Amino acid sequence: MLNITLKDGKVLEIEKGTTAYQVAESISKKLAKFAMVAKFNGELIDLESPLNEDGELEILDFASEEGLDAYRHSSAHVMAQAVQNLFPDVKFGIGPAIKDGFYYDFDTEHKFTPDDLEKIEKEIDRIIKDDYKFERREVTREEALSFFGEKNETYKVELIEALPEDSVITMYTQGSFTDLCRGPHLPSTGKLKAIKLMNLAGAYWRGDEKNKMLQRIYGTSFLKKGQLDEYLKRLEEAKKRDHRRLGKELDLFTIEEEGPGFPIFLPKGMVLRNALEDFMREEYEKWEYEEIKTPIILNRSLWEQSGHWDHYKENMYFTQIDEADYSIKPMNCPGCMLAYKYGQHSYRELPIRYAEMGLVHRHEKSGVLHGLMRVRAFTQDDAHIFMLYSQITDEIKKVIKMIDEIYKVFDFSYKVELSTRPEKAMGDIAVWDKATDDLRQALEELEIPYVINEGDGAFYGPKIDFHLEDSIGRTWQCGTIQLDFQMPEKFDINYIGEDGHKHRPAMIHRAIFGSVERFIGILIEHYAGAFPAWLAPVQARVLSISENNLEYCQQVVKDLKSKGIRAELDVRNEKIGYKIREAQMQKIPYMLVVGDKEMENGSLAVRSRSTGKQEVLPVDQFAENILEEIASRR
């Protein structure tokens, strides 16, 4: 008999060879019905896997990340089977689960069309109804090469050949389809319910543009049709909010073919951008940061010293000056190290908090560029904090509180991830462990829930990442806090301690917007272009009903501007209804309608974008109201 410990600590006694599914069924029929896969002693397994030793067992459903991945990975296999049934000449690449769905890459002479997606969906439905079992089989490297070689599956053969000689390889079969796969998978195809194929794209094999371009089919899947319908509805809403479309309609920014990945901010976009940067600079003052500015281009030796040359070179741009190698900075940190080293510092000065709105450049492949969300030149609201080791936890907590306050201004909720040491990392493991513990301690003292993101830290230190949730439920990674013991060592920075000797400070990298450009893109979509008054490029538009009101309207605009309100005038010879509709399309917070009556009384008919209501107010009263709204950043 075996002792199996469940997630709640309860211990079950079972016979050796009992499957994870049978354990789930013995606990609850409902648990077994909704189970996707299981985790045994920390390793993901199929529900049909027999348990042959004592251990800890967790049954995972669709609500878990692992269960969701298995559901969608199984969906990818079913889609591949459907494609094989309809297009027998196809060769298979890879088909993983991804955020919000799955994809599979195919090599075939047939050019897939949207009509083909409908046919494939019908075949998927048939495969689900036939309820084929997902059967797992362990094979040797030679057996796998023989199997896929006979089928002329060149991509699978290439993957197998890249594995170590003594690898144990697993294959999964459902019906007539067999794939090279680690799994785990659902028990059978009948467990799948709502699958939708979304779109087609090209993808180089293994992401290398030197390789052949394959055809990629993207899809998504859910446990219930209602969940799928809700997801599709959210996608439609996201299309309406697309920052690229709204950016053009609202005259905020443009990206031209002469500079792909290099956005140009137009006058209205600069008003928005400056409002954000001014807000952040107010926060610098409040949280006791000093602002610096470092060069965009610096000598190669600096990037070698920082580690970027070895760890980040493929993302950097280079030039030569006086026959010496230079790089355009991809990050602000090394320049900040030079700023700190400029003077000698005492322990009494610490912590020192240097902030920088720093323009950086990173080489991104053209295929991943996306409006303001993925660009090649962007400004980071960076800060680097130098501190005593005894100050680490308090400083991290202060940064977390600062980030929390700033995100509340934009009505963002967020989730927190603690990312640990990656494979390619600088420095001693003990130092990494210490840094990770410091970040964990700060989160736990503030009682902030977080999840561990194994192996996703920066190459120089672990980090806390903040994932914002926008108004339609999408998440965006923006803020980050990175604790770094490596960079102070590499740059030999120090302070004079209480004992009169030199000591090494600890350092935090932190950003809140992350990239100003990307944050603007997120805000455009979060607000659907309808910015709160403090951010709106135009805060009020005066709309004249007739030419008789022109002089009064001009005076109103002049008075509002003198008070710091961003106002403009529309005196075109158009009907007032047309002017109001156009102002609404431009997402202007307040439309100020002026006719003869308003002119006589020194008032305005104030129409609010957010409520649609109209009220008549004296000019000074409207100015007082909107200035209070702007100041409070409501």
| Per-domain boundaries in the chain | 2-61, 68-238, 261-294+330-526, 540-632
- Check residue 426 and give its pLDDT: 74
Radius of gyration of the chain (CA): 30
Highest CATH level, class, for 68-238: alpha beta
Is CATH 3.40.50.300 the classification given to domain 261-294+330-526? no
Q: Closest Cα partner for 61 from 186, 195, 221? A: 186
pLDDT band at 549 (very low <50, low <70, confident <90, very high): confident
Residue 163: C-alpha distances to residues 93, 140, 157, 223, 574 (Å): 16, 11, 10, 34, 71
- Check residue 456 and give its pLDDT: 85
pLDDT band at 471 (very low <50, low <70, confident <90, very high): confident
> Which whole number is the average pLDDT over 198-207?
93
Architecture of the CATH domain 540-632: 3-Layer(aba) Sandwich (3.40)
Give yes or no for residue 190 having a pLDDT over 90. Answer: yes
Quote the CA–CA distance of 258 and 261 in Å, as a whole number: 10
- pTM here? 0.83
> By the 8 A CB rule, do 204 and 215 touch?
no
> Which whole number is the average pLDDT over 309-328?
92
Quote the CA–CA distance of 557 and 77 in Å, as a whole number: 63
Is CATH 3.10.20.30 the classification given to domain 2-61? yes
- Check residue 430 and give its pLDDT: 84
Q: What is the 3-state secondary structure (H, E, C) of 272-298?
A: HHHHHHHHHHHHHHHCCCEECCCCCEE
Q: Which amino acid appears at position 634 of this protein?
A: R
- Catalytic residue numbers read 333, 362, 380, 382, 384, 463, 509
For the stretch 212-250, pLDDT in tens is 999 999 999 999 999 999 999 999 999 999 999 999 999
